[in-house]
Structure formats: structure tokens, C-alpha cells
Amino acid sequence: MLAAALPAAAAGAVPGGVAKVRVENGAQATLDGNRVLVMRESKGWVAIAGVPLSAAPGEKLSLQVRYPDQRFKQLEITVTRKKYPSQRLSVPRDQAELDPEQMKRYEQEREHLQEVLRTFSESPPASLAMREPVSGRRSGSFGSRRIINGEPRSPHSGMDIAADNGTPIAAANAGRVIDVGEYLFLGRTVILDHGQGLLSLYAHLSEVNAAPAETVAAGKIIGKVGTSGRATGPHLHFSIYLNTAAVDPAYFLGATP
């Protein structure tokens, strides 16, 4: 199982990036209490850790590594700087602010999604190279600090791909459906588990063509592009997660972010 599919640029431990750390066969690695993907590449074994967007430049992340013979190592990942753009958006007031009932729904959904994103299955991904889920213009908005109606919001955790309403969406890699839902902000959403904490999320769908626990092949149609949830136009919000951290999908689609 090769990890060489990731481009060299992904080795940079920037916020929202991917850190590749050399380990030995049999390693079990964790970062911030979350299991980390471990795979073999041509020169040996590596832990492939997602770096949270919230990580600050210069911050030292501690990768905890254990081996079957009970050896333990603590390896350090130093976060380097990456400047993400700011994006100013003006949206209708009722889409920018939540009433008490909506806030309660949002908090419940957030807790549920956090639990889903902690999914870790022992089988490694078939590949780290992913196919484009839908053809269209990709925005460079991953990591951008959104300022909505003058109020700073959380950084954007995915890539937006513009496409016509109803355009079929393909699974970016082989995996298992671990969540299908309709959420306040994300709208109709499908989340796939590709193995060892590597997940993909597809949001704002107009139609879902996948069922929980279903196993899907890479390229299988799992839904259609739409505007469900809080979307200003038809597009796919596409996210990739590693050890619960949102990382730039461009690494896995063969582009250098």
C-alpha cells in the first residue's frame, strides 16, 4: 500500500495541510487523541497526519507512536506558515444569523458531525489519489477566512466546485457510507469512510443516491449537485478529513494547493 500518491508539497505541515512522518512497521500513531493513518510507501512506513486549520505557525504538534513490542516514541511536527485569503460575503440577514431554534439544531448537528468525523476503521485506503467528484470550476476557497456581513467566521473547510444543478457527483475514492443527512448549513450531505481516518464529505446536494453502511466503488454516483442548506448557488462543497482535521482536497486531487 503506497503513500506516494501524495505530492511532495503535501509534506509541508501547514494549517490544513498533511504531514508525512517516518515510522516503523507496526506503528500505531495518534495526534491530539485521534488515530492517524499509517501506510507503506516505497521507502518504508509513514504516518500521514492532517494538520488542523486552527494550528498556529511555530506550534509543535506531538505525534504519539506505539509499537507492538510496547516501544513508545513521541515525534514532533512543527507547523509552518501558510497565508489563506480572506473572503468577504454579503448574504441575507436571515441566512447569516440563527434564531434560538436554529441555534439548537445547529449545536445538535455539530455534535453529531464531530462524532461521525471521529470514525476510524482499521483497513487502510485503497489509494490516496482521488478522482474529481464532479467536473467544474474549482474555487481556491479552502482555508479562506470568511467575513459574512462584516463578522469573521470559521475558515472554509472544503473546496467549492461550481456545476449545474443536478450534475451527478461521483465518489472520489472507494469507501463506505457512514453518514447521510440534511443539515442546516451543509444541506443534503454524504460522508464516506475510505479507511484509517481518511474521510470525504459532499454537501449542498439536490439529491442523494447513497444509503448508510453502503459500500461504494470509486466513481459511483452518490448524489447530484444542488443548493440545499446555506448555499448561494449550485455547487458541490467537497471536504477531505484526516484524523478529524479538514485538509485541502487539492492535495488528493493531484494539484498543488
79 three-state secondary structure: coil
pTM of this structure: 0.92
pLDDT in tens, 184-230: 999 999 999 999 999 999 999 999 999 999 999 999 999 999 999 98
Q: Concatenated DSSP letters for 200-216?
A: EEEEEEEEE---TT-EE
Does residue 28 lie in a domain region? yes
C-alpha grid cell for residue 84? 489563506
Residue 1 lies in a domain: no
pLDDT band, residue 6 (cuts 50/70/90): low
The per-residue pLDDT for 91 is 78
Centre a 10 Å sphere on the Cβ of residue 137 and count the other Cβ atoms it contains. Answer: 9
On whether both 30 and 102 belong to a single domain, the answer is no
Range of the domain at 244: 86-251
Mean pLDDT of 68-73: 95
The pLDDT assigned to 232 comes to 84
Alpha-carbon gap, residue 212 to 155, rounded angstroms = 28
How distant is the alpha carbon of residue 234 from its chain centre?
A: 20
42 contact partners, CB below 8 Å, separation of at least 6 = 2, 4
Residues 64 and 101 in one domain: no
Distance CA 50, CA 16 (A): 7
Q: Which residue type does 147 have?
A: I
Contact status, residue 84 vs residue 144, Cβ threshold 8 Å: yes
Number of domains in the chain: 2
CATH code at position 207: 2.70.70.10
124 and 169 belong to one structural domain:
yes
Lowest mean pLDDT of 105-119, 148-162, 165-179, name the range. 148-162
**pLDDT at position 257 over 70:** no
pLDDT at position 147: 84
pLDDT at 230: 87
Residue 189 forms part of a structural domain: yes
